[in-house]
C-alpha cells in the first residue's frame, strides 16, 4: 500500500479491512480529522507514516461536538482535495462516514470526561468535549489502532482524549505533534479560511501574545502569572476586531491553574479569541 488510498464510507467495510490488517500483524496509525486538511494535518499523517505500517485518516464533521450557533453548517468541506493530500502524505485508508452511518439512532451513550473538560474551551463550549470523546471512542472501536495522532494546537483536546484512552483502557498510544504555523506565525487551522484580509491580519495577536509571554518568562524572568496576564491583555487591546475569550496559564499535565510559574514543571499558556464570527485558539508549552 502507499500509492493508492482506499476510501470507505461504512463502518462494516472499514472493520473488515482493518481486521485483515490486524491479522497480518501490521501496526496501524489513526489520524482523526474533520477534513479541510492543511499542513498541520499533513504533519500528523507524515508522523503516522513514519511510525506505523498502515495509516488511516478519518474525515468526519462530527455534529455532536458543535453547540447551537456554532459553525457546523458552514464547516469547510474539501473532500477531493483532502484525498489528494492524504495520498501524497502516504495515507493508506480514508474512513469518511456520513452522520447517519455514525449516528443512525438517537445516541443514548456518551463518553464524558470530568475535570480537564471544565475549564478553558470547555467553559464556553459546554458539550464540545463530550462530543469529541464520544466520537473518538467510536473511532477507536472501529479502527483499533496502535497510535492515534493529535496536534498541539488543540492541546486540551489531546489531554481529554488521553484521559479516555487511560480510563477506558483503549490499547492505543496517543501522540502529540507540534503546532504548524503559517509564514507569519498564525497557527494553521481549518477555521482560518473564514477570516477576511483584515481579520487574518488581526489573528496575529495570538502569536504576538504567546511570544510576549515566552519573552517575559524566559528573558525577563517574570514569574507572577497576573503580571504576564496584564501584558497579554494590553496586547489584545491593540487589536480592534479581537474579542478575548480567555488567557489560561497553568500546569500542562492537568490544567491546574497557578499564580506563579514553577520551575521544573511544564506550563501551558493557552489563548482563545473571537475575530468577527471566527473563534481561534493557540498555545505554548514551556518549562523553566
Residue 82 and residue 35 in contact, taking contact as beta carbons nearer than 8 Å: yes
Minimum CB distance to ligand PAF smaller for 154 or for 202: 154
Interaction between residue 33 and ligand PAF (CB under 6 A): yes
Minimum CB distance to ligand PAF smaller for 117 or for 235: 117
β-strands 54-59, 93-95 pairing? parallel
Q: What is the DSSP letter of 130?
A: H
Interaction between residue 86 and ligand PAF (CB under 6 A): no
Interaction between residue 156 and ligand PAF (CB under 6 A): no
Minimum CB distance to ligand PAF smaller for 36 or for 269: 36
CB of 99 to ligand PAF, least distance (A): 12
Judged by CB under 6 A, which of 43, 52, 65, 156 binds ligand PAF?
A: 65
Judged by CB under 6 A, which of 132, 174, 205, 206 binds ligand PAF?
A: 132
Residue 138 burial (CB count, 10 A): 20
**Residues pairing with 243 in the sheet:** 274
Q: Which stretch binds ligand PAF (CB under 6 A): 28-36, 84-92, 219-227, 228-236?
A: 28-36
Cell of 147: 497510535
Instruction: Give the torsion through C-alpha atoms of 89, 285, 153, 100, to 10 deg.
Output: 100
Interaction between residue 122 and ligand PAF (CB under 6 A): no
Helices (H), the chain: 11-23, 39-51, 79-88, 99-102, 121-124, 128-142, 155-167, 197-202, 205-218, 225-237
Helices (H), 89-127: 99-102, 121-124
**Residues pairing with 244 in the sheet:** 273
Residue 75 and residue 61 in contact, taking contact as beta carbons nearer than 8 Å: yes
Interaction between residue 130 and ligand PAF (CB under 6 A): no
CB of 58 to ligand PAF, least distance (A): 7
Please give the positions annotated as active site: 41
**Residues pairing with 174 in the sheet:** 148
CB of 76 to ligand PAF, least distance (A): 12
CB of 94 to ligand PAF, least distance (A): 13
Interaction between residue 34 and ligand PAF (CB under 6 A): yes
Judged by CB under 6 A, which of 154, 163, 188, 209 binds ligand PAF?
A: 154
Cell of 216: 517575559
Minimum CB distance to ligand PAF smaller for 46 or for 236: 46
Cell of 260: 506563579
CB of 128 to ligand PAF, least distance (A): 8
Binding interface with ligand PAF (CB under 6 A): 32-34, 62, 65, 132, 135, 154, 157
Amino acid at each position: 500500500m502507499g500509492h493508492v488510498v482506499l476510501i470507505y464510507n461504512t463502518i462494516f467495510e472499514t472493520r473488515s479491512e482493518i481486521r485483515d490488517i490486524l491479522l497480518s500483524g501490521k501496526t496501524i496509525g489513526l489520524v482523526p480529522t474533520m477534513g479541510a486538511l492543511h499542513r498541520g494535518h499533513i504533519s500528523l499523517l507524515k508522523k503516522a507514516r513514519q511510525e506505523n505500517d498502515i495509516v488511516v485518516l478519518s474525515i468526519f464533521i462530527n455534529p455532536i461536538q458543535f453547540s447551537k450557533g456554532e459553525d457546523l453548517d458552514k464547516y469547510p468541506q474539501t473532500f477531493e482535495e483532502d484525498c489528494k493530500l492524504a495520498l501524497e502524505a502516504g495515507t493508506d485508508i480514508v474512513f469518511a462516514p456520513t452522520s447517519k452511518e455514525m449516528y443512525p439512532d438517537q445516541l443514548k451513550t456518551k463518553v464524558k470526561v470530568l475535570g480537564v473538560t471544565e475549564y478553558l474551551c470547555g467553559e464556553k463550549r459546554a458539550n464540545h468535549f463530550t462530543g469529541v470523546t464520544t466520537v473518538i471512542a467510536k473511532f477507536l472501536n472501529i479502527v483499533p489502532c496502535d497510535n492515534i495522532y493529535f496536534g498541539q494546537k488543540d492541546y486540551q483536546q489531546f489531554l481529554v482524549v488521553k484521559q479516555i484512552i487511560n480510563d477506558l483502557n483503549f490499547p492505543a498510544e496517543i501522540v502529540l505533534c507540534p503546532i504548524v504555523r503559517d509564514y507569519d506565525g498564525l497557527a494553521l487551522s481549518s477555521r482560518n479560511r473564514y477570516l477576511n484580509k483584515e481579520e487574518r491580519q488581526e489573528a496575529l495577536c495570538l502569536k504576538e501574545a504567546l511570544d510576549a509571554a515566552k519573552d517575559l518568562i524566559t528573558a525577563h524572568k517574570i514569574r507572577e502569572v497576573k503580571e504576564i496576564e496584564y501584558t497579554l491583555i494590553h496586547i489584545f487591546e491593540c487589536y480592534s476586531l479581537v474579542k478575548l475569550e480567555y488567557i489560561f496559564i497553568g500546569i500542562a499535565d492537568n490544567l491546574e491553574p497557578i499564580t506563579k510559574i514553577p520551575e521544573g514543571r511544564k506550563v501551558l499558556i493557552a489563548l482563545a479569541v473571537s475575530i468577527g464570527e471566527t473563534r481561534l485558539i493557540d498555545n505554548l508549552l514551556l518549562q523553566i
